[in-house]
Amino acid sequence: MVKKNEIIEVNIDRVDFPNKGKAYYEGQEIRFKGGIAGQKARIRISRKKKEYLEAKLVDIVEKSSIEGESGCPHYGICGGCSYQTLTYEAELKYKEGQIIKLFEKAGLDINYLGIEGSPLVHGYRNKMEYTFGDEEKDGPLALGLHMKGRFYEVVNTDECNIVDEDFTSIRQHVLKYFQVRGTAFYNKRRTEGYLRHLVIRKALSTGEILVNLVTTSQDTLDKEEFVDMLVKLDLKGDIKGILHTTNDRLGDVVVAETLELLHGRDYIIEEILGLRFEISPFSFFQTNTFGAEKLYSIVRDFVGDKKSNLVYDLYSGTGTIAQILSPVAEKVVGIEIVEEAVEKARDNARLNNLDNVEFMAGDVLKVVDDLKEKPDLIVIDPPRDGIHPKAINKIIDFNPETYVYVSCNPVTLVRDLKVFAERGYRINKVKLMDMFPRTP
């Protein structure tokens, strides 16, 4: 009988979505986060439950047969990517198997159309949120991603391959700028220091770049000198805006208590499927631009060419899907709870000269009660929690001919689809789109 905190060696039997490893030891099931099926791993028992044990992954002793060598020198230290040792073909097959298993477990009969890979596997991200810190206690200033399984230590990601070279260049020069000046990072243990995060956004279609430095108010920034350093960089893209965010909150989350524009404008413009979208520092936008183009092309293909009188786009965010569907509808109504996102959606609709798209600010759960017109089509793109349990039957009560459900969480997707099936709807087709290569 294993004991709490005991470290044991196991063969990882399988990894279920989302990244839930399972193994067996002396007949007992053990669950833990991470790993790849087929790996031999050391795990530390953390909790005993009635039907299984919980554990934490300590390290990998032996690779899985589906693994090769990592193409990233930070792999194993950085907490950013888990699938760097898989070929992309193997990664897609691995992810596909996890999702199909969810549908099978839920007893849902589907017409499965396969998985689409990301157009870019390397350099695909259009946003990175770097953290200031140190790689070891009291070591030199670092700027990058958190170490694997660590909350305080940071890895300098000089050769990160999921971003293009402009991200790396900006990150390196900002780090050097503050190293030379001896500026202190914000220490979360002591709640003191200045530098917190560096957020970089780059529109991959247009090359426009937005840089946002996040600090506390415990020091001052030489704004003119900082801007001058950045605008002189030799980049492939073009820095359109530099911002300074002040955040004195205790949580390790990028929020703006104050936001100051230091240079240029406070947004960049990205292009997707012939439409232009303004992206501000805190706007939600798919982090894989070219993957998003494929995703929205799938949505448009599922909708078809038949023109609808009225389309509802629920959980519409900044209105990307609503605007992409505007050519096949007399009217599209988007509903989104975040007011800033609604304002940005309206701005983008004006930018694209679309007069048949409108957006409403409010909680889908409440707003659907006020919608009186019956739509021909409803597109649903909810957050990771899926459709609110109290809202789903209200949405089904509209009884349109077709729903298109876009999901970022297959677990809540199959949960919600079971309700649709119970109400008489048939799942016509399912297609997967990998938006995050190298990650679960």
Q: Taking the domains of the chain in order of start, what are their residue ranges?
A: 7-62, 82-121+291-440, 127-272
The candidate with the shortest Cα–Cα distance to 28, out of 58, 62, 55, is 55
Question: Which are the contacts of 8, defined by CB distance < 8 A and separation ≥ 6?
Answer: 2, 25, 42, 43, 45
| Residue 251: per-residue pLDDT | 78
Note whether 7-62 and 82-121+291-440 share their fold. Answer: no
Tell me, yes or no, if 72 is annotated catalytic.
no
Q: Beta strand 238-246 with 208-215: parallel, antiparallel or unpaired?
A: parallel
| Residue 95: per-residue pLDDT | 97
The candidate with the shortest Cα–Cα distance to 269, out of 347, 165, 167, 174, is 347
| Residue 196: per-residue pLDDT | 97
The candidate with the shortest Cα–Cα distance to 173, out of 130, 204, 118, is 130
Count CB atoms within 10 A of the CB of residue 422.
10
Superfamily name with CATH number, domain 7-62:
Nucleic acid-binding proteins (2.40.50.140)
What does the block give as tokens for 216?
Answer: 């506390």
C-alpha of 2 from chain center: 37
| Residue 71: per-residue pLDDT | 87
Q: Which residue has the tokens 């929020």?
A: 255
Contact 156/175 with Cβ under 8 angstroms? yes
Mean pLDDT for the stretch of residues 332-350: 95
Mean pLDDT for the stretch of residues 165-174: 99
What's the CA gap between 117 and 89, in Å, rounded?
9
Look up the pTM and report it.
Answer: 0.93
Mean pLDDT for the stretch of residues 77-101: 95
Mean pLDDT for the stretch of residues 184-191: 93
Which of 367-404 are b and which e, b meaning 16 or more Cβ less than 10 Å from the residue's Cβ? bbeebeeebbbbbbbbeeebbbeebbebbbeeebebbb
Beta bridge partners of 334: 313, 359
First to last CA, the chain: 32
Mean pLDDT for the stretch of residues 30-34: 96
Written out in words, the top-level CATH class of the domain with range 82-121+291-440 is alpha beta
pLDDT band at 256 (very low <50, low <70, confident <90, very high): confident
What's the CA gap between 325 and 333, in Å, rounded?
11
Share the mean pLDDT of the chain.
95
pLDDT in tens, 365-382: 999 999 989 999 999 999
pLDDT in tens, 262-275: 999 999 999 999 99
Count CB atoms within 10 A of the CB of residue 140.
10
Mean pLDDT for the stretch of residues 56-73: 94
Element holding 7 (H helix, E strand): strand 7-16
| Residue 306: per-residue pLDDT | 85
What's the CA gap between 115 and 375, in Å, rounded?
29
Mean pLDDT for the stretch of residues 113-142: 95
The candidate with the shortest Cα–Cα distance to 348, out of 293, 284, 277, is 277
What's the CA gap between 313 and 310, in Å, rounded?
10
What does the block give as tokens for 330?
Answer: 């007399």
| Residue 138: per-residue pLDDT | 83
Mean pLDDT for the stretch of residues 304-313: 92
What's the CA gap between 53 and 24, in Å, rounded?
10
Count CB atoms within 10 A of the CB of residue 414.
21
Helical residues (DSSP H) of 80-235, grouped into ranges: 88-106, 165-181, 223-231
Mean pLDDT for the stretch of residues 98-115: 96
What does the block give as tokens for 52?
Answer: 């299984």
Element holding 198 (H helix, E strand): strand 195-202
| Residue 385: per-residue pLDDT | 96
Contact 336/365 with Cβ under 8 angstroms? no
What's the CA gap between 323 and 337, in Å, rounded?
18
pLDDT in tens, 321-340: 999 999 999 999 999 999 99
Counted residue by residue, the chain has a size of 440
Residue 152 reports pLDDT greater than 90: no
Helical residues (DSSP H) of 326-439, grouped into ranges: 339-351, 364-367, 392-396, 410-422
Residue 63 reports pLDDT greater than 90: yes
CATH number 3.10.20.340 is the correct assignment for the domain at 127-272: no
| Residue 151: per-residue pLDDT | 78
Count CB atoms within 10 A of the CB of residue 221.
18
| Residue 341: per-residue pLDDT | 92
Residue 79 reports pLDDT greater than 90: no
Choosing from 78, 81, 160, 408, the catalytic residue is 408
Percentage of the chain exceeding pLDDT 90: 90
Of 282 and 352, the structure prediction assigns the larger pLDDT to: 352
